[in-house]
């Protein structure tokens, strides 16, 4: 906490809840989406617009939309709570709310869309998200650096979190990649910037896992790793990143079964992290009875699902590599 704002109104609570609700809606949608496009052909939850529902590139693209959406929901809820806590002191602090909400809506659209063509609006939104993530990172770095003490532990701990805007950048990148995969022509290698799509995404997602792990590491170090569970997000995701890196470098025809399982573990960790953070909130003065203050003071509830978003994207990339060994 940077400003010792202890005079909390009830609005904060409303905003926090709104952020969490948005996340829940996405997760529900995400839960339904894979059935729609799954290659096992389970009953569709949303009516397909084209008959290409089983085309692997479209399946992969929709999974990536879903992953981008999970990340965007995490950002929407997290930036709502944290920037509310910062009293939206700078008008620019509304940006991630607007961008992540748009990205979330776009991702829902993409998840539901079974057509094998990119959509210019989705592309535009995802690119905007990526750019705003970069600009946001710049803003956060500026915020840390301008405080007395400069780039010190104190300011990295309690200034604007350096890594947080990267989550919306990653969401935008995943969405952008999903559009490139989706528009791949049948019988050709899915590509992103002329690179094999699956492997490129595996590398990007691996880097994203490392960065997110770094962010969790910094903040859990701030909390002195007082609970052993706080070690999970600094140990499991780097292993996942290594596995994804290996997958990115491996030749065609590999199964990557362990990597897929590891992505499922990371997704579970991401969602379970909300529960652990809820427990963390309860350990502040007044516990959940004092929720309007402790949601702001305690560990951020919406943060851990960003791991789940990346892990789901990793799964999508691995499945694409399986369906398109050269991807």
Partner 1 sequence: MSDNPQHTPRARRGRAPDVFRPGGWVPMREYGEDETVDFAIVGTGAGGGTLACKLAEYGFSVVAFDAGPYFRPLEDFASDESEQTKLYWTDDRIVDGANPLQLGSNNSGKAVGGSTVHFAMVSLRFRPEWFKSRSLLGYGADWPLDWREMWNYYREVEQALKIAGPVNYPWGPPRPRYPYRAHPLNAAARVLAKGCEALGIGWTETPLATLSAPRGLAHPCVYRGFCVAGCSTNAKQSALVTWIPRALAAGAEIRDLAMVGRVEVDAAGRATGVHFHRDGTWHFQRARHVVVAGYAIETPRLLLNSTNGQFPDGLANSSGLVGENLMAQSNQAVWGLMDQEIRSYKGPPSLAITEHWNYEDKGKDFFGGYSYMSQGPLPQLWANTQMAARGLWGARLMSDMQNYNHVAGLKIVGEMLPQENNRVTLADEVDQFGLRIPRVTYSWCDNDKRLIAHALKFMTQALEEADARDIWTQEDDTCHLNGTARMGSDPARSVVNADCRSWDIPNLWICDGSVFPTVGGANPSLTIQAIACRTADRIRDLAGRGELDQPARRRYAAQTAQ
By the criterion CB under 8 A, which residues form the site for partner 1? 1-2, 4, 6, 147-149, 153-154, 157-158, 221-224, 226-227, 280, 283-285, 297
Q: Tell me how far, at minimum, the Cβ of 283 lies from partner 1, in Å.
A: 4
Q: Which is nearer to partner 1, 87 or 188 (CB)?
A: 87
| DSSP track, 83-129 | HHHTTT-SGGGGHHHHHHHHHHHHHHHHHH---SS--HHHHHHHHHH
> Under 8 Å CB-to-CB from 160, ≥6 apart: which residues?
139, 140, 143, 144
Give the end-to-end CA distance of the chain in Å, rounded to a whole number.
45
CB of residue 70 to partner 1, shortest distance in Å: 28
Give the CA distances from residue 13 to residues 29, 75, 252, in Å, rounded to whole numbers and listed in that order: 24, 17, 50
- Taking the C-alpha atoms of residue 93 and residue 249, their distance in angstroms, rounded to an integer, is 39
Report the residue number, 34 or 300, with the smaller CB distance to partner 1. Answer: 300
* Residues 234, 263 contacting (CB under 8 angstroms): no
CB of 285 to partner 1, least distance (A): 4
Question: In this complex, which beta carbon is closest to partner 1, that of residue 228 or of residue 251?
Answer: 228
Compare residues 158 and 271 and give the one whose CB is closer to partner 1. Answer: 158
C-beta closer to partner 1: residue 252 or 286? 286
Inter-CA distances, 135 with 96, 139, 142, 272, 295, Å: 10, 6, 11, 30, 27
Give phi and psi for 220, each to the nearest 5: -75, -30
| Residue with Cβ nearer partner 1 (180 or 220) | 220
- Least separation, in Å, of the C-beta of 303 and partner 1? 16
Min separation Cβ 141 and partner 1, Å: 19
Taking the least distance from each CB to partner 1, the nearer of 221 and 271 is 221
Q: How far is CA 146 from CA 4, 92, 137, 141, in A?
A: 19, 17, 14, 9
- With beta carbons less than 8 A apart as the criterion, state whether 228 and 302 touch: no
- For 192, phi and psi rounded to 5 degrees? -125, 115
Q: Least distance in Å: CB of 23 to partner 1?
A: 25
CB of 304 to partner 1, least distance (A): 17
Question: Distance between CA atoms of 318 and 199, rounded to whole angstroms?
Answer: 8
């Amino acid at each position: 906490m940077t400003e010792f704002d202890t005079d909390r109104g009830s609005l904060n609570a409303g905003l926090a809840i709104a952020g969490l609700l948005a996340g829940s809606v996405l997760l529900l949608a995400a839960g339904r989406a894979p059935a729609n496009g799954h290659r096992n052909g389970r009953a569709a939850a949303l009516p397909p617009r084209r008959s290409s529902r089983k085309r692997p590139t479209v399946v992969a693209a929709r999974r990536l939309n879903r992953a981008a959406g999970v990340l965007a929901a995490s950002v929407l809820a997290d930036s709502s709570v944290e920037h509310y806590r910062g009293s939206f002191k700078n008008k620019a602090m509304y940006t991630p709310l607007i961008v992540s909400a748009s990205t979330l809506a776009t991702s829902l659209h993409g998840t539901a869309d079974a057509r094998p063509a990119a959509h210019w609006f989705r592309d535009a939104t995802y690119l905007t998200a990526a750019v705003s993530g970069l600009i946001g990172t710049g803003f956060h770095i500026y915020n840390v650096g301008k405080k007395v003490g400069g780039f010190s532990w104190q300011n990295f701990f309690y200034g604007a979190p350096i890594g947080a805007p990267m989550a919306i950048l990653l969401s935008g990148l995943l969405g952008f990649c999903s559009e490139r995969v989706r528009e791949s022509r049948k019988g050709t290698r899915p590509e992103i910037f002329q690179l094999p799509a699956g492997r490129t995404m595996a590398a990007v997602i691996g880097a994203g896992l490392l960065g997110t792990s770094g962010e969790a590491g910094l903040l859990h170090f701030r909390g002195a790793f007082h609970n052993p569970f706080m070690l999970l997000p600094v140990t499991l995701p780097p292993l996942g990143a290594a596995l994804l890196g290996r997958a990115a470098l491996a030749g065609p025809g590999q199964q990557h079964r362990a990597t897929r399982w590891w992505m499922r573990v990371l997704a579970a960790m991401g969602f379970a992290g909300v529960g652990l953070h809820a427990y963390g909130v309860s350990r502040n003065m007044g516990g959940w009875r004092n929720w309007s203050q402790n949601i702001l003071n305690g560990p951020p509830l919406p943060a851990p699902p960003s791991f789940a978003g990346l892990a789901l994207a990793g799964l999508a990339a691995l499945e694409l590599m399986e369906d398109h060994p050269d991807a």
